[in-house]
Amino acid sequence: MSQGLREKFDVKGSATCGRGLRARYRKCPSGGCDGRRNDEIEDCEMAACSEWGSWSEWSSCSATCGLGTKIRDRSCNGTTCHGKRSDMITCRMDPCSQSLSLSGKGMNVFRFYYAADGRLTSVANMFSFEFV
């Protein structure tokens, strides 16, 4: 480089992670830069891109009867992964049990709902009628 001549390189990359190209551009204030090219482009390797791991197995159904949900998830190996971390689908189990309750003048039909751990979560009075 000639004495008194200053070079300024601006470096720009085509990728923020993984493989890409890096370019630098030279600006010479006084006009000439020793006849060399004013730009250079080369391959570069950045830090690995964030990626999702494999999906986990589906969870067991959240209900023991009727409709419930199954969930699966996955982990990101970096700071920013695009897409869903978890996934959910509907599962259908055997119909929930029903019970008849007879009284002196009528009948009630109840449906019992249970959680996956066997706890009774709700009871619904499906219908009632009176004997005439």
High-pLDDT (> 90) share of the chain, %: 18
Do 106 and 113 meet the contact criterion of CB atoms below 8 Å apart?
Answer: no
Q: Is the pLDDT of residue 102 over 60?
A: no
Q: How confident is the model at residue 7 (pLDDT cuts 50, 70, 90)?
A: very low
Per-residue DSSP letters for 34-63?
TT--SEEEEEEE-SPPP-B-PPPPPPPPSB
> What's the pLDDT score for residue 59?
94
Exposure string of 63-95, with b = 16+ CB inside 10 Å and e = fewer, is bbbbebeeeeebeeeeeebeeeeeeeeebeeee
Looking at residues 91-105, what average pLDDT do you find?
Answer: 68
- For residues 100 and 96, the model is more confident at 96
Per-residue pLDDT tens over the stretch 61-76: 988 888 889 999 999 9
- For residues 118 and 10, the model is more confident at 118
Q: What angle do CA 10, 43, 41 make, to 5 degrees?
A: 40
- For residues 19 and 89, the model is more confident at 89
- For residues 67 and 129, the model is more confident at 67
Q: Is the pLDDT of residue 47 over 60?
A: yes
Cα–Cα distance list, 94 to 11, 68, 127 (Å): 64, 11, 21
